[in-house]
Amino acid sequence: MIFADAQAAAAGVLRTALAGRSEPYAAGVTVGTRVPGDRSPEIPHLPYVLVRKDTDLPHSSMANTRATLRVTVWHTDADQAHDLAQLCQGLLIVHSGPVIRGVRPATGPLAAVDDTSRGTPGSDIDLSTFTVLANVRPATA
């Protein structure tokens, strides 16, 4: 049994849902599945939402799999990072679609600072991160 790509589906859900939002902290947001190569404050790419799959645990019935999705939000300050993370979490929790059946909260949002990057100094940009548990449908042939 093959399951659809929960990471790509969640990124698509957020990309679509955030595009029409009027909240100032959501303005100009970019959603992706890779850590930005340059996270320095001088590069105008904030806010940025990263969606990554941490785990994938198929149910014994194979009717669905449960994926843990981690969403990390970089923003211009801690409050806006937290607010956007809460919005993203809420948008995922209310979603039900062709790939993701439903979503439950797991951890966070938790505030942090991007202070390490593969052993080198980080960007010192404020971020907020959370995880959700997504029930994912089997892929159709």
Mean pLDDT, to the nearest integer, of 134-138? 89
Provide the terminal-to-terminal Cα distance of the chain, rounded to the nearest Å. Answer: 10
- At 88, the pLDDT band (50, 70, 90 cuts) reads very high
Kindly report the three-state secondary structure assignment for every residue of 96-119: CCCCEEEEEEEEEEEEEEEEEECC
Residue 21 clears pLDDT 60, i.e. is over it: yes
Determine the pLDDT at residue 17: 96
Q: Please report, rounded to a whole number, the percentage of residues in the chain having pLDDT higher than 90.
A: 57
Q: Report the alpha-carbon angle 43-24-97, nearest 5.
A: 95
**Among the listed residues 93, 90, 73, the one whose alpha carbon sits nearest the alpha carbon of residue 133:** 93
Between 113 and 117, name the one with better pLDDT.
113
